[in-house]
Chains A and B, each alone.
Chain A
């Protein structure tokens, strides 16, 4: 969209008393191809674009979006948004000045330039990897999806910037069947990057084998007996425990309204001193990284909790207005132009500690080793969280024993982070999609192996 038109839109949006205006223009190209039941089952492309327009007046926001980028449509949108206020102008849009962000994620092979066949070859390797793992694998769904997102952000303070984010993700779901029951396994590595990721960073065959291995383990597992246990949670996607139990409650979206159990606790000891947790949007190539966030601010590395002490929240510009003394932290994110941005996690992880993995397992007399976690959710107001154990084992007398299935961990965030009392040395990140107020965004979770001294485990 023409820069003069953008400034005209910003200025029009501020004509009824708004003190700030922001335009977000986006175009997203995406492609998804799936192999199911041995064959290419679906292939779908998408090309969507639109504009999001936001204004602030004090502690109130107005947001409008439209898929129509014509001059008449965006000016009409500006008039509709401005119509929420009816006062006299107090500010005008500044002259827009270019701001060129650093690029921490160069892409060598842009997926939209690669023919379907090359992508299918990658998916086929993953699918074959899963199917060849064990004869009990009865069904496999493998897919490759890529997203090429280009956006421009401009605001009434004169910011004019933009970025291009390219995401590529391979996902394999495997079913192992005994004839009378099914069990599942999943593996879904992704990065910001293009087709150069295969196979050097993401090995398709191993991706498939890992999903199949998990399904086979679960097929031969017995149901977990519910109760309260000490648990050891493995690195990688195990980090969902921090994401759900604490991460969401440190987002300004919750904190600004006193809606989080951690509101007002900056500087206080809120977790076990063993725990240091970080949200880092600056990791090159990582799934949750941002050159700039969706408000045009550079991504940051934010230490959230340091040795158990709450150091920082994740803050967007609007909620910074509501939180005295807090500055935006480069965490404003949104799924698309249809959503107003708000504070969201990027790559969030528990930092490495100094415990040996063998000591962590060896310390548990009767507990559970969670090798692979599934997704979860949290109610930030109460801190109550849950997440599924996708692959688990009993620990007896410090030894990992038989596989179990059907376990769910539940608890309260502020309690569980006090119970993380051992932290291993080997940090690993894993990819997920996080859903919240501003839609679904890619995030990394992560941690080394940790011990939670006791937690409620749901089972049969």
Chain B
């Protein structure tokens, strides 16, 4: 493990020599190992170890940053000089805050974690892959199973003496089943964050088979039930509208709407850095501010947007401990962002959607089809027709279109099954299935 404190001490000396009194740094270090199985054999194994140091110089309260992955004397010297040079050209009204530290941080234990061995991951991946291929003759050779293990830590320090660090580690698996029949192929995934012994094939093959031989959806407006996966995709694509910085810049229609009704009563949207099932819980944000659990939307009312110290200062608000990501220029981020579960079962949502409704199981291309600056979306989907309160025939590709802001207002049901996606850094998103009325569907 790299000695972060030794690096910090060397940077302190360089800054002192250069007369730089205000600065902060973030050090990220991670290592991972994974194995991929396909066609009843191990196809590849991977191992990686990397680290990055981000340094921000505050010159006249303007912050400029620079990153490096090498920590010899000349690299650190250049790192500080480059950040100072970058800071000197900043004109923005945004202030760079060097934070002395919060009074209290959530007491999270740094549990020791060891990466799984390549051999154990390979054995698990192969076992799961064989199980997948044994389960149905229509499973294709392109299907694959990945088992992996990742660990790392984030350390931050600044010129006001603040030093914080947090470790993480988890194992995960992903199974992508591709099935084919009569020149038509479909795929579905199982995935999870869990111990090696808990990695199990679930529904990927049956889910992929269920998509074969789809027919066309009916166009027009109808009620849809978004799967947890799809709602998580939507929350991910439109998360920037929840950032105070976006509102200040006029890039979120939530600007000035704190305290106003912006969504259905059924919508409670939470950001919880300490969510109990998260493998990436963390007690401080990229500014070093103590993180906190907060309701962004509470029963349809916008309670707060998410702020770093800088964006809060610009908006005249209190920071919410949401500075991030940890590396690079400080902006806004979330941690475990989720839509609170409701009281309906999925069957009840399907029944309420009625005949003619659609269960939307997959969405693709949100990086192009969802525009956080306007709130508009037009997205390729796959799913099932709803008949008599059940998922019925599979549907060929169709699109749903509308405004994310309208979608939040049109939620008429939220299931009782909150499911989480895989973590990305210290971020993850969770959602139950949701029933949305009056959505435009095109074929």
A and B associate: yes
Considering the complex, give the chain A residue whose CB is closest to the CB of B87: A43
Report yes or no: B68 in contact with A387, Cβ–Cβ below 8 A. no
Which residue of chain B has the shortest Cβ distance to A63 in the bound complex?
B46
Interface residues of B in 387-430 (CB under 8 A from A): 397-402
Check B65 for interface membership: any CB of A closer than 8 A.
Answer: yes
B401 to chain A, nearest CB (A): 5
Q: State whether the Cβ of A376 lies closer than 8 Å to any Cβ in chain B.
A: yes
Could you say which of B69, B142, B399 contacts A67, with CB atoms under 8 Å apart? Answer: B69
Residues from chain A with Cβ under 8 Å of B219 in the complex: 226-227
Given A47-B78, A386-B369, A456-B397, are A182 and B374 neighbors across the interface (CB < 8 Å)? yes
Q: Is B91 touching A39 in the complex (CB atoms < 8 A)?
A: yes
Please determine whether A459 and B187 come into contact, CB atoms closer than 8 angstroms.
Answer: no
Asked if A61 and B43 make an inter-chain contact with CB atoms under 8 angstroms apart, the answer reads yes
**B378 A49 Cβ-Cβ under 8 A:** no
Contact in complex: B92, A36 (CB < 8 Å): yes
**Could you tell me if A226 and B399 are in contact, using CB atoms closer than 8 angstroms?**
yes
Q: Is A177 on the interface with B (CB-CB < 8 A)?
A: yes
**Residue of chain B at shortest CB distance from A383:** B185
**Bound-complex Cα distance A48 to B78 (A):** 12
Q: Does A261 contact B (CB under 8 A)?
A: yes
Central interface residue in A43, A68, A117, A182, by most chain B CB within 10 Å: A43
- Assess whether B187 is in contact with A40, with CB atoms less than 8 Å apart: no
Task: Specify which chain A residues have a CB less than 8 angstroms from the CB of B350 in the assembled complex.
Answer: none
Whether B48 lies near A182 (C-beta < 8 A) is no
1/0 contact string of B139-177 vs chain A (CB within 8 Å) = 011100000000000000000000000000000000000
Known pairs A67-B51, A381-B178, A410-B399; A40 contacts B142 (CB<8 A): no
User: In the complex, which residues of chain B have a beta carbon less than 8 angstroms from the beta carbon of A136?
Assistant: none
- Using known A-B contacts A61-B43, A381-B178, determine if residue A44 contacts B328 with beta carbons closer than 8 Å: yes
A359 part of interface (Cβ distance < 8 Å): no
Listed stretches B199-207, B266-274, B360-368; interface member = B360-368
Taking a contact as CB atoms under 8 Å apart, the answer to whether A48 and B41 are in contact is no
CB atoms of A47 and B68 under 8 A apart: yes
Question: Which of A40, A383, A406 contacts B376, CB < 8 Å?
Answer: A406
- Majority-rule SS of A interface residues: strand
Interface centre among A80, A177, A182 (most CB of B within 10 A): A182
Partner of B48, one of A65, A383, A411: A65
Q: Given the complex, which residues of A lie within 8 Å of B322, measured CB to CB?
A: none
Whether A406 touches B378, Cβ cut-off 8 Å, given contacts A40-B90, A116-B85, A382-B187, is yes
CB of B341 to closest CB in A, whole Å: 29
On whether the beta carbons of A42 and B90 are closer than 8 Å, the reply is yes
A49 pairs with B70, CB closer than 8 A: yes
Of residues 241 through 264 on chain B, the ones whose CB sits less than 8 Å from some CB of chain A are 249-251, 253
Interface contact B86-A47, CB-CB below 8 Å: no
Count residues of chain B with CB under 8 A from any CB of chain A: 75
- Which residues in chain B, 320-379, are within 8 Å of chain A measured between CB atoms? 328-329, 364-365, 367-369, 371, 373-376, 378-379
* A340 and B49 in contact, given A47-B70, A377-B368 (Cβ under 8 angstroms): no
Contact yes or no, B401 A459, CB < 8 A: yes
A433 CB to nearest chain B CB (Å): 10
Q: Which residues of B77-110 have CB atoms within 8 Å of chain A's CB atoms?
A: 78-79, 82-83, 85-87, 89-94
**Which residue of chain A is the closest to B402 with respect to CB atoms?**
A460
- Cα–Cα, bound, A204→B26 (Å): 34
Partner of B42, one of A41, A60, A175, A456: A60
Cα-based distance from A412 to B380 in the complex (angstroms): 12
A189 in the interface (beta carbon within 8 A): no
- CB-defined contacts of B374 to chain A, threshold 8 Å: 181-184
A228 to chain B, nearest CB (A): 8
Which residues of chain A are near B365, meaning CB under 8 Å? 375-377, 386-388, 408
Q: A48-B69, A116-B86 are in contact. Are A184 and B380 (CB under 8 A)?
A: no
- The chain B residue with its CB closest to the CB of A35 is B91
Any A CB within 8 A of the CB of B47: yes
**Selected contact of B368 from candidates A42, A80, A173, A375, CB within 8 Å:** A375
Q: Assess whether B251 is in contact with A384, with CB atoms less than 8 Å apart.
A: no
Partner of A50, one of B69, B89, B328: B69
Decide: B46 and A64 in contact? CB cutoff 8 A.
Answer: yes
Complex-state Cα separation, A117 to B91, whole angstroms? 12
Any B CB within 8 A of the CB of A458: yes
Interface with B: A252-260, A278-286, A296-304, A444-452, which one?
A252-260
| Contact between B402 and A182, CB atoms less than 8 A apart | no
The verdict on B195 contacting chain A, using a C-beta distance below 8 Å, is no
Of A40, A64, A139, A383, which contacts B89 at CB under 8 A? Answer: A40
Is A83 engaged at the interface, CB distance under 8 Å to the other chain? yes
Most buried by A among B364, B374, B441: B374
- Does B440 reach chain A (CB closer than 8 Å)? yes
A314 at the interface (CB under 8 A from B): no
Does residue B38 face the partner (Cβ distance < 8 Å to A)? Answer: yes
- Report whether A408 and B67 are in contact in the complex, using a CB–CB cutoff of 8 Å: no
Contact partners of A22 in chain B: CB under 8 A: none
- Asked if B383 is an interface residue, CB under 8 A from chain A, the answer is no
A72 vs B41: C-alpha distance when bound (angstroms): 32
For window 355-410 of A, CB contacts with B under 8 Å fall at 374-377, 379, 381-388, 405-408, 410
In the complex, which residues of chain B have a beta carbon less than 8 angstroms from the beta carbon of A48? 52, 67-69
B317 within 8 A of A: no
Q: Is A257's CB under 8 angstroms from B89's CB?
A: no
Who on chain B is nearest to A65 by CB?
B48
* Shortest CB distance A178–B (Å): 11
* A338 CB within 8 Å of chain B: yes
Contact A46 B142 (CB under 8 A): no
Of B66, B83, B249, which is within 8 A of A36 by CB?
A: B249
With both beta carbons as reference points, the residue of chain B lying nearest to A225 in the complex is identified as B442
A454 touches B (CB below 8 Å): no
Question: Which chain A residues border B91 with CB–CB below 8 Å?
Answer: 39-41
What would 19 A/B residue contacts be, using CB atoms closer than 8 Å?
A41-B92, A43-B65, A43-B86, A43-B87, A62-B44, A65-B50, A139-B251, A181-B253, A258-B140, A375-B365, A377-B367, A379-B364, A388-B365, A408-B399, A408-B401, A456-B399, A458-B378, A458-B380, A458-B399
Known contacts A43-B90, A63-B45; 5 further A-B pairs (Cβ under 8 A):
A43-B89, A67-B69, A69-B70, A459-B401, A460-B401
The 8 closest A-B pairs by CB, nearest first: A226-B442, A458-B399, A259-B142, A386-B380, A375-B368, A43-B86, A39-B91, A408-B378
Interface residue ranges, A against B (CB under 8 Å): 33, 36-37, 39-50, 59-69, 77, 80-81, 83-84, 116-117, 120, 138-139, 173, 175, 177, 181-184, 223, 226-228, 254, 257-259, 261, 338, 340, 374-377, 379, 381-388, 405-408, 410-412, 456-460
